[in-house]
Structure 1
Amino acid sequence: MSAGRYLKYLQEEIHTAIAATIDDGGLPVTCAVDMMDADENSLYFLTAKGKSFYDRLKKKGYIALTGMKGKSTMSCSAISLRGKVKELGNTLLPRLFEKNPYMWKIYPTQESQNALTVFQIYDGSGEWFDLSKTPIERFSFTFGKMKVEAGGYFITTGCTGCGDCETVCPQSCIDLISVPAVIKQAHCLHCGNCYEICPAKAIERR
Structure 2
Amino acid sequence: MEHLERCAWVLRGTLVRAAVRRYLPWALVASMLAGSLLKELSPLPESYLSNKRNVLNVYFVKVAWAWTFCLLLPFITLTNYHLTGKAGLVLRRLTTLLVGTAIWYVGTAVFANIEHYTGSCYQSPALEGVRKEHQSKRQCHGEGGFWHGFDISGHSFLLTFCALMIVEEMAVLHEVLNKRLLRASVITEYHRAWFVSPC
Q: TM-score, structure 1 length as denominator?
A: 0.26
Greater RCO (Cα-Cα under 8 Å, separation 6 or more): 2
Q: Give the TM-score, by structure 2 length.
A: 0.26
Going by fraction, where is strand more abundant, 1 or 2?
Answer: 1
Which is richer in helix? 2
